[in-house]
Amino acid sequence: MNINVMFKKKKPKQEKISPGLQPQDPHRISKEISTNGSPLIRMEAKELTVKYGTVTGVRNISLPIYNEKVTALIGPSGCGKTTFLRALNRMHDLTPNATVTGEVLLDGNNIYVPRMNPVTIRRKVGMVFQKPTPFPTMSIYDNVVAGLKLVGIRNRALLSEVCERALRQAALWDEVKDRLGSPGGSISGGQQQRLSIARALAIEPEVILMDEPTSSLDPLSSSKIEDLINELKQKYAIVIVTHNMQQAARVSDNTGFFYVGDLVEFGPTDKLFTNPSHKRTEEYLTGKFG
């Protein structure tokens, strides 16, 4: 049965059960998932807290990110979804006053220990932003291969190959293959966003973080990006922040619900959407607030 249809259905009262799934117990969750699919945890946040000065962005978040799965983060604005996402590839390093405590494990290694170089981490954990961000002075081609060319890879055959592969993966190749030399800003917004995705894919990361990747796009472009996410999860671990609950239901395997800096609930998407363990989650999903 389509999750989307289930989502729209008014949930019967008796489905509200007492919280069996504790959001702060990742081992429990992983056990649950491992019975019906790939068990490999690519990344894991452990008691992660991010503060901006004295203001807490997210509090004590523990969350696994599975390989070849899409993890959606939902919740009202300002509840820490993006803050959490940015902690996963050390984007907070550049935010003045931001302090991160707790651990984020990438393949079992904490990325917040001093010997970890944020540049190396970001090559494994790519990111796509809310607004398309093509590099303004570069051509489409240069945008895609920027992550390779600018670190000294000059082999043209290799770069062309990577460019084509990344653009194909991002479902953009057919639309731009005849004008790879045009400026990155000359294509449409939806195409620019897929270009940003291609650019992230070109460096072959392990994890792709997407911060509301479709919020500035029209429905057609959005659905292309969603199809793309479904394709990409064959190879990558994907984390997507979204305000669009239908989108979360359509594309994700697991969903985390954030509310004022806390991870209220985390679990398989179909369960969370049809049978949430927490009253808050249910209220948000049914539109009682948010």
Partner 1 sequence: MKTLRQRNIRDYIMVSLLILSTVLVLTPLLIIIGYVVVNGIGAISMDFFTQELGSPARAMQGQPTGLIHTIIGTLVVDTIGVIIAIPIGVGAGIMLSEYPEHKLNPLLRVLNDTLNGMPAILKGLLAFALIVRPMGTFSGLAGGIALAFVMIPIIARATESALMTIPWSIREAGLAIGLPRWRVVLSTIVPAARIGLVTGFLIAFARAAGEAAPLMFTSFGNNYLPTHWTGMILGPVDTLPQRLYSLAISPYSEWHTMGWAAGIVLLVFVVALFAGAQLLTRKKAYNT
Name the residue nearer to partner 1 (CB basis): 70 or 202: 202
Q: How far is the CB of 102 from partner 1 (least distance, A)?
A: 22
Q: Which residues lie across from 210 on neighbouring strands?
A: 128, 240
- Cα(10)–Cα(42) distance, rounded to whole angstroms? 35
Q: Quick check: 207 and 128 in contact, CB under 8 A?
A: no
Nearer to partner 1, 151 or 158 (CB): 151
Q: Least distance to partner 1 from the beta carbon of 126, Å?
A: 6
**C-alpha to C-alpha distance for 177 and 171, rounded to whole angstroms:** 11
| Residue 192 vs 252, nearer CB to partner 1 | 192
CB of 140 to partner 1, least distance (A): 15
- List residues binding partner 1 (CB under 8 A): 89, 91, 94, 96, 118-120, 122-123, 126-129, 131, 133, 135-138, 146-147, 150-151, 196, 199-200, 202-203
CA distance 249 to 254: 9
CB of 187 to partner 1, least distance (A): 16
Q: How far is the CB of 25 from partner 1 (least distance, A)?
A: 31
Nearer CB in complex with partner 1: 196/269: 196
As measured in angstroms, the least distance from the Cβ of 36 to partner 1 is: 32
We find the least distance from the C-beta atom of residue 143 to partner 1, in angstroms, to be 10
Closer residue to partner 1 in complex, CB, 46/131? 131
Distance, in Å, from the CA atom of 214 to the CA atom of 158, rounded to the nearest integer, reads: 31
Quickly tell me which residue has 């917040």 as its tokens: 112
- Residue 187 or 264: which CB sits closer to partner 1? 187
Nearer to partner 1, 76 or 118 (CB): 118
